[in-house]
């Protein structure tokens, strides 16, 4: 039997009606049952599309002209939205973004976790879904003899020169532009990644949303930084809110932004910010949530699901710099945090001390190895909280959680697919997923965060 050929060819121009969205926010249209994925198209729209890639079971297209626009379509406020890879869905009305993300979570629960009956609530969004990011790191390049700073174009390392980013705090925009201008005036060369030459690789700015403390980090290829003192003095004079100016040295030819060596050029080693009643010290390499407004929403949901009375012992796996642990500590008997990154554990201990919290202990190590040891020592947690990276929980960690038999598990996730996979394993291990609450931590992008609530199944 001859294989059926796709009904379209590369570079063909076709008329297409869109009926759905992918999890990345691309429009889905079908021609003779063959799906084409097209960025920036919305369900219900009719458009002219150029076919740019053809595979056996699906293809990709480029939107040329929208003949019938969806009422959900809005004009993106960002001038470089269609070139930059930072945001994917600025062209959608905000409520549609939230609905899309809820559907993404529901689909993952059903298709990956086989959890058809788990309630997935509407996504908790922001009143003002712009200017929320407290950290920006921009690559620096050279064009026509001048320094440029911006984000990479989609699927490339071409830098889009930009003056403003509508999801960054405005003060960060101004700082990046000021540092770029001052560095250019003092003849500091941009890093050339093709030839591994030049000096300035990235400019990073972190701002405490509630304190307005500012940290500037200059990521350089070399220890040498020409006119370093003049650069520092000019930044300080222009922006008195700057509390810390730091140089990070990364000599390697790599996509990893920061190197191992960090030197404080002026000011403090840390800046500070608060989420709720907890104060955090933030270093250049600290993992600290980039949207503190929604982080508070996320953590309050986690506390709610933990059902704390003040008597519980809690394990926080993947504790980072102690953000969730310290929230929990205010409402429990004891928190045990574990994290594989030693610097993060040092930060967590410092943050506990900063907040005079004495019922939180932090350990360096892999949670899947530390937790069985805790169990052998007789630790029986009432609640386990996990907030893993995008790849989800290690299988050994899930096994350790099941064997510890806590009353409740609170699973915070930034990836619905790996969340659904892990919930299935926990369900098979004797837990029931009661509900999932998505939270919009990253408006204008296709990413969604979730808090899941699991309870130990009572054997009858």
CA 296 to chain centre: 15
Measured between alpha carbons, how far is residue 20 from residues 30, 40, 45, 93, 116 in Å? 10, 12, 10, 15, 20
Residues in the chain: 460
CA neighbor of 135 nearest in space, from 161, 159, 171, 163: 171
Measured between alpha carbons, how far is residue 321 from residues 59, 271, 285, 364 in Å? 43, 14, 11, 11
Give the integer Cα–Cα distance in Å for 337 and 323: 10
Burial of 319 (0-12, 13-18, 19+ CB in 10 A): buried
Is 393 catalytic? The answer is: no
Radius of gyration (C-alpha) of the chain in whole angstroms: 24
DSSP string, 254-311: SS----SEEEEEEE-S-EEEEETTEEEEE-TT----S-HHHHHHHHHHHHHHHT--S-
Give the integer Cα–Cα distance in Å for 186 and 102: 49
What are the respective helix, strand and coil percentages of the chain, to the nearest 5?
25, 35, 45
Residue among 87, 165, 393, 414 flagged as catalytic: 414
CB 217, CB 248: distance < 8 Å? yes
H or E stretch including 428? Answer: helix 416-428
Q: Which two tokens stand for residue 343?
A: 């610097």
Q: Which two tokens stand for residue 342?
A: 């030693």
Q: Which two tokens stand for residue 8?
A: 């379209």
Is the C-alpha dihedral spanning 255, 244, 167, 150 positive or negative?
negative
In 10 A of CB 217, how many CB atoms? 24
Gap between the terminal Cα atoms of the chain: 55
Strands in 2-101 per DSSP E: 13-21, 27-31, 34-38, 46-54, 59-68
CB 125, CB 440: distance < 8 Å? yes
Write out the catalytic residue numbers: 414
């Amino acid at each position: 039997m001859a294989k059926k050929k796709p009904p379209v060819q590369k570079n063909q121009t076709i008329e297409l009606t869109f009926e759905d969205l992918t999890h990345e926010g691309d429009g889905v249209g079908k021609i003779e049952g063959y799906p084409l994925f097209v960025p920036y198209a919305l369900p219900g729209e009719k458009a002219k599309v150029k076919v740019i890639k053809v595979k056996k079971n699906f293809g990709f297209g480029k939107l040329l002209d929208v003949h019938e626009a969806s009422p959900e379509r809005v004009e993106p406020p960002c001038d470089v939205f269609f070139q930059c890879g930072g945001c994917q869905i600025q062209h959608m009305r905000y409520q549609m973004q939230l609905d899309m993300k809820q559907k993404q979570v529901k689909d993952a629960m059903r298709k990956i976790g086989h959890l058809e009956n788990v309630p997935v609530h509407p996504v908790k969004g922001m009143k003002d879904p712009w200017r929320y990011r407290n950290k920006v790191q921009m690559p620096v390049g050279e064009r026509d003899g001048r320094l440029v700073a911006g984000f990479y174009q989609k699927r490339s390392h071409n830098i889009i020169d930009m003056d403003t980013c509508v999801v960054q705090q405005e003060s960060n925009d101004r700082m990046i532009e000021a540092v770029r201008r001052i560095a250019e005036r003092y003849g500091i060369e941009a890093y050339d990644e093709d030839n591994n030459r030049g000096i300035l690789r990235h400019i990073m700015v972190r701002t405490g949303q509630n304190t307005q403390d500012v940290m500037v980090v200059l990521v350089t290829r070399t220890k040498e930084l020409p006119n370093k003192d003049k650069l520092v003095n000019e930044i300080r004079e222009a922006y008195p809110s700057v509390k810390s100016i730091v140089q990070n040295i990364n000599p390697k030819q790599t996509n990893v932004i920061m190197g191992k060596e960090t030197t404080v050029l002026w000011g403090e080693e840390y800046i500070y910010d608060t989420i709720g009643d907890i104060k955090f010290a933030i270093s250049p390499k600290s993992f600290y949530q980039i949207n503190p407004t929604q982080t508070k929403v996320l953590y309050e949901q986690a506390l709610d699901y933990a059902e704390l009375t003040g008597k519980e012992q809690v394990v926080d796996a993947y504790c980072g710099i102690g953000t969730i642990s310290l929230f929990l500590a205010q409402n429990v008997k004891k928190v045990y945090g574990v994290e594989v990154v030693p610097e993060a554990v040092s930060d967590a201990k410092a943050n506990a001390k900063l907040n005079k919290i004495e019922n939180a202990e932090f350990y360096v190590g892999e949670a899947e190895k530390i937790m069985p040891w805790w169990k052998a020592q007789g630790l029986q947690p009432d609640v386990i909280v996990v907030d893993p990276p995008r790849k989800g929980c290690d299988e050994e960690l899930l096994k350790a959680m099941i064997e510890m038999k806590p009353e409740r598990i609170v699973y915070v996730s930034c990836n619905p697919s790996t969340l659904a996979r892990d919930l299935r394993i926990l369900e098979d291990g004797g837990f029931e997923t009661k509900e999932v609450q998505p939270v919009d931590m990253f408006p204008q992008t296709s990413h969604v965060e979730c808090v899941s609530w699991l309870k130990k199944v009572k054997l009858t």
